[in-house]
Structure formats: structure tokens, C-alpha cells
Structure 1
Amino acid sequence: MASGTEVRHIDAGTAIEIASAALMGAGAGPEAAGLQAAHLVEAELRGHPSHGLRRLPTLVGRMRAGLLDPNATPTLTWGSVSALVVDGNRGFGPVTAYAAIEAIQERARETGVAIAALRRTHHLGMLSPYVERLGEHGFIGIVLSSTEGLVHPWGGVGPLLGTNPLGVAVPTADGGVTLDMSTGAVSAGKILDFAERGLPLPDGWAVDEDGRATVDADAATRGAISPFGGAKGYALGLTLGAIVGVLTGTAYGPDVKGTLDETHPVTKGDIICAIDVAAFGQRPGSTELASYLELIRASGTDGRRVTVPGDRSRAARAHAVADGFDVLDDLWLGLEGLADEHREAPTGVRA
């Protein structure tokens, strides 16, 4: 059950400051800590606490266990003119991912398409900020990730597939399409968030350890997440995981470790792809696509606007940047405790 459901209202600047201090208290340098902290807070701003600050204590635990090197510099090796092999050297996911993005953007200007295959790097978190970064520079951005075995096969029992998320950005001048979705009915972080808040799950999200549908979040943590969309979601998740595993040489399903625990080396993989729209003779920021998306938005019944992928996240972010967001009180107190370890350390000494 949840350890507490009281919340407090936090602004983004304070959240980044506390999260950065917590990471520095465990040994991270200021730049890496700031980047990782900002990415966690970005998930909070977009209304996805499952990928936000609740991930930080696990990161700290992995740092203290020697499984995560917070100051690692990723190794970038070009396997071919447009294929980048990235060894994160056990570092933070955002640090590795943004380094890879900078490299493939530059290369895709020459080749039209460039792809990075990441291994030995930690949880990327929300995928939309990465693909949006590519979109801002005139690229179609695609990110695939593998995760721990959390999803049961369609017609099968047991957590044998990852939630294997997919992120895509197709830019227009006013935002375009930004897809950030799990191929499970929900992310593992969302299940844990519901469990911590003591809330029942919606129908269809998960099964218990015997394969029976459940709305009990605690039972779901011992069971498996259901694939979204039945057989089709199962097939998509399996296929995306296969692509990531083959290109990165990383593990599959139950053998993927390192984003939810504090005991195993990280064995997940990630793929990041940049496609230069201009290389195909097209203008970045398509006005035609923007007009089409507006047609869709205006198609709602009874005068209601239809959302396209990315709309809700952008609206949530704008509201949270202006007004702040809620964080579970127990979680926040824990983060403040971790931050105090950094603040109380002697000058030049890290906890």
C-alpha cells in the first residue's frame, strides 16, 4: 500500500535544484546532475510523474552500489558513415542520449539519415524531449527503448516482454506530432505511482501473478502489465524490442535489468534515429502537415477539439511551468534528505 498520499505543490526551479543536489550528494558532478534532474522534472511538467522524480532514489541507489557512474563520458564510435555505436559506460541515460543526438544530427546533415545504437546507459525517461530536440532542428526523430520484462504475451502468462516504448516527432512550425507511448497498456512507473498513492488501476492495465485481470496496483507489481490493444500491441512491442536488441546487442525481456532495481548491471538498449527532412527535398516544419493536423483538431463533435499526439503534453507543460505541480509528500521529503547530504558535506567532499 502507499506510504502516504499527501502532496505538496512544487515549482520547476525548486524541483531541479533539489534533484540536482540529491544527485550531487551521491557523487554526480554539477553538469551531469543538472541534466539528469532537468529531464526528471520535465516528466513532471508534462504530467507523467511515473517517469519523474520518483525515479531519482533508484538512480541514487544504483550510484551508491557502483552500478551507475554519474560522471561517465559516453564512447561514440562510427560503425559506418551513418551508424553510430554508443557505449554509455554505465552513465546517466539523458547524458548519453543527448551526446548521441548531437553526433547524429551533424552526420544526418550529410547523409540524410543517421542512427545511434546505445548500450550500457541508464533509463532515458520520457522519450518526447529527445525526439522534440531533433524536431527543433528540422529532423524527424525516432527513439526506441527496451525495458525489463514487464508485459505478458498475448495469450500467455508472465512478464516476458518489455514495455518497449516508442517516441516519434514529426515537426511543424507549431509543434507537429509528438508520439511518446509504451507498448504496454501502461508504463511500469505508472503502476508503481498508483501503488504509492493507494489508487486502484483502471480495468485492462494489468494481471496478477496467476494471469488474472486485476485493478490492485500492489498485485500488479507482482504480476504483469497487459499489452495495449491486445494482440496488435503485443506484436508491436515484441517487434520493437527485437529491433533494439539486434542493433545494440543487448538483452531481451526477463534478461533486461537495471532501470528499476539497485542490484543488477544495466542491460537495456536504445535506438535514436535522425531523418533530415531537407535531404528528401522537403521543407522542415511542413505547413501542409500543420494544416492537416488542424483539420483533425477541428473534427470533434459538439464543438470539442480533438487532440493529436503531443497536444496534451504541451498543454500540461505550459500549465505546470506557470503554476507548478504536485509531488507526493513522502517522496519530496526523501529527496530533501538526499539533497541535505550534499549540502552538509565539507567543501570539496561528496557523500
Structure 2
Amino acid sequence: MLIELEEARSVALRVLRGVGTPQSHADLQAEVLIEAELRGLASHGLLRLPRIVERVHNGVADPRATGRQNWRGDALLDVDGEGGLGPVVACEAIARTCERAGRLGMAVAAIRNSGHLGAIGWYAEKISRDGQIAIVLSTSEALVHPWGGRKALIGTNPIAIGVPVQPDPFVLDMATGLISMGKVHDYANRGQPLEPGWALDAEGNPTTDAAAARQGAIAPFGDAKGYGLALGFELLVASLTASALGTNVTGTLDSTLRATKGDVIIVIEPHAESGASLAAYLDEVRACPPIREGETVTVPGDRSRSRRAENLTRGLEIPDAIWSQLRHLADCSSLES
């Protein structure tokens, strides 16, 4: 179903306000979800909103919380999110971390007890558009099987890197799983099969059935290399945030348990004279002769920005079942108010 952008935003805000979310927090959470939809990342878009509502109703998420912050040394900000919405807690931490990095050259925020961030490239782009380098890491429930294994024991553990470049920053946003579990849910909602090799079912057997994969495991990207990165990121984030590990991580795919994953946001001041050379180098990469005639070489972030520009005028393609659920939640919120 094709939905106009402002209608989608209005419905999302009504849903969030209906569960007691302050206006500024609702605006931020809705923006992160809508931006994911605009960039074609439905797995991190509006399909996640009903679960946020359920988590608030069940008392494991607090839409009013902004997090409790404490500096561990000069450059490491320790954040207890106090069950707050992921984007709200993260942006509060980013504001202080960016200011500290501006003075010291570098600063880190280590966040625990906070909701799902959404697409982490949004934060990397936000920071890099303001002129600083960003590295964003997050962990998730155990959704990925170890290389050579048949059981989910590691998170999808994404990384985003943002580097300030003119006219648009370089933004890499990738999970260490071959796909995200959100994408599995999106395919299941749309009735689409997965690609072979993407996932295992609950018994550890290869499957293309998205519904069966929800109970199974995702493959690591790049075989042993992606597995190694995923494990390294899991340990790095947990060592800084005291977050849970592996099968003990909860709270981003369920509606009843406290969020126990961790987030790490690293902010660095770039060298003052690096900008022009970075832009020229990326243009050189884009100008590389393509393997397939008629195609062009892109760098991370290019296709996402193009898709966003197209969807700003076209609207958002949202599955009928998800949109009906959101409209119902919004209508219920209106009746309760």
C-alpha cells in the first residue's frame, strides 16, 4: 500500500503520543522510523512501532526517560538508558559526546538499558553532517549462527561509520549478519521467500521460508570473516557497556523483557585539511569503469540517498497488514484521549 509521507508521520505520532510519549520524544522516534522507510529499510521502519507500544504497555519501556549519564574519565560517557526509547537516549548522549569530542578530539558514549536504536546509519549521518566522524556499534538478540554452527548464538551486531565529506557525508551502515531479523520479518509480512543461504530454521536446517527463519538463525555475512567481526563487536560493546551477551540479550524483538543489548557511539574530530582529498577520492571511486555496461559504481550511502529522494515524492510502500495495525493503534489512541 502506498502511503503519503505526512500521513505516515501523522499516524506514527498519534500512536506514540497515545502511550504517553512526550512530543519531542515522539517526533524523534517517528523520524528514525520514517527515515528508515524512506531509504527502503522497511526492516527498521514502521513495522517496529507496534512492538514499541506493547513494550510501553508492558512496563519494559519508558517513553519519558532520557537516560542517566555519568562521565567515566574525561572522554567516556556511561549511560543507563533507564528503559527509554533508543533514539531519545542515544541523541541525549550524542549531544554531550559531540561537545566533549570537540574539546578533546575524541569521546565515546557507552549505552545500556535502552530501546532499539533503529537504523544506526541515521546517527552516523547526523554526526558526520555536523562535521565529526562517527562510529556506531550495537548488539542484538542472538540471531546469527557461528560460522559452521546450527544455532543462533551471536547478534547481528551492526556497525555504522560516518565521515564528513562534501556535499554529502560518507555513511556505511551494515550488519554482521547476512541480513537483519527485521528483514526476515518484513519478508514474512509480505509473503516473500528468502534467498537460499540466508537462514536456518529452528532445527538448524537451511530454509527460504521467512516465517520458519524467524524461529531459526541468520547466516553471518562473509562466512568466517563476518562471524569474526560479529563476535568481536559483541565483546567490544559488552566490555564497554556491561550489556548481556549471546542468548542473554533481550528486549528488541520481544514485548515483555527489559532491553539488555548495548550501544557504543564513538565521535572523533577529523583533521582540518582532510575534506577536499576525501571528496576527490570518492569521486575517483565512483568514476571507476563498471564491470557491467550501463551501470555505475557507487559508494555506501549513494543508493540510500537516491531512494530517499524518490520516496519523498512517491510515498512509502507499507504492507497492508502493518498499515491496518498502525491505523488501529492510532484510532485507539484518539479514543482513549
One fold, TM greater than 0.5? Answer: yes
Q: 1:336 to 1:144 in 2, by over 3 A?
A: same
SS in 2 for 1:305: coil
Alignment match, 1:218: 211
Structure 1 ranges of 4+ moved more than 4 A: none
Question: Among 286, 291, 297, which residue is 1:297 paired with?
Answer: 286
**Identity score, percent:** 46
Are 1:283 and 2:273 counterparts?
yes
Contact 1:89 1:120 in 2 (8 A): yes
The SS at the match of 1:277 is coil
The answer (yes or no) to whether the contact 1:176–1:290 under 8 Å persists in 2 is no
Mapped to 2, the partners of 1:283 and 1:21 lie a distance apart of 46
SS of match in other structure, 1:158: coil
Q: Within 5 A, what are the aligned runs for 1:184-195?
A: 184-195=177-188
Hey, what does 1:5 align to over in structure 2?
A: none
For 2:181 and 2:294, how far apart are their aligned partners in 1? Answer: 35
Take 2:226 and 2:53, find their aligned partners in 1: how far apart are those partners? 33
CA deviations 1:61-113 (Å, max 9, x no partner) are: 00000000001121111111110001111000000111111111100011100
Match of 2:164 in 1: 171
Instruction: Give the SS at the match of 1:116.
Output: strand
Contact 1:44 1:325 in 2 (8 A): yes
Give the match for residue 198 of structure 1. Answer: 191
Task: Tell me by how many angstroms 1:290 deviates.
Answer: 1.1
Question: Is 1:60–2:57 an aligned residue pair?
Answer: no
Using the alignment, how far apart are the partners of 1:273 and 1:312 within structure 2?
25
Q: Structure 1 residue 324 and structure 2 residue 330: aligned?
A: no
Alpha-carbon distance in 2 for matches of 1:293, 1:19: 37
**1:19 alignment partner, one of 8, 12, 17:** 12
* Counterpart-to-counterpart distance in 2, 1:312 and 1:178: 11
2:281 alignment partner AA: Y
- Residues 265-302 of structure 1, C-alpha deviation per residue, up to 9 Å, x if partnerless? 11010000100014xxx336x12111111111111242
Matched position secondary structure for 1:239? helix
* 1:122-141 map, 5 Å: 122-141=115-134
Residue of structure 2 equivalent to 1:109: 102
Within 5 A, what are the aligned runs for 1:37-186? 37-186=30-179
Question: 2: distance between equivalents of 1:11 and 1:94?
Answer: 23
Counterpart contact for 1:119–1:248, Cα < 8 Å = yes
Q: 3-state SS of the aligned residue for 2:214?
A: helix
* More displaced 10-residue stretch of structure 1: 320-329 or 52-61: 320-329
Q: What is the number of residues matched between the two proteins? A: 335
Q: Which residue of 2 aligns with 1:255?
A: 248
The one-letter amino acid paired with 1:295 is E
Residue 325 of structure 1: how far off its partner (Å): 1.5
Contact 1:117–1:272 (8 Å) recurs in 2: yes
Aligned residue number for residue 343 of structure 1: 334
Distance, in Å, in 2 between the alignment partners of 1:219 and 1:337 is 27
SS at match of 2:318: strand
CA distance in 2, matches of 1:212, 1:344: 46
Question: Paired residue for 1:349?
Answer: none
Q: Does the aligned pair in 1 maintain the 2:129–2:169 contact within 8 Å? A: no
Give the stretch that moved more between structures: 245-254 or 215-224.
215-224
8 Å contact kept, 1:176–1:289: no
Q: Distance in 2 between matches of 1:213 and 1:330?
A: 27
Moved more, 59-68 or 326-335: 326-335
TM-score, scaled relative to structure 2: 0.97
Give the C-alpha shift of residue 304 in structure 1.
Answer: 2.4
2:197–2:206 contact (8 Å) kept in structure 1: yes
In structure 1, stretches of 5+ residues that fail to align are: 1-7, 347-351
Residues 187-227 of structure 1: CA deviation (Å, up to 9, x unaligned): 00000111111111012211122322211111211210000
* Cα deviation digits, residues 39-81 of structure 1 (max 9, x gap): 1111000100000000000000000000000011211111111
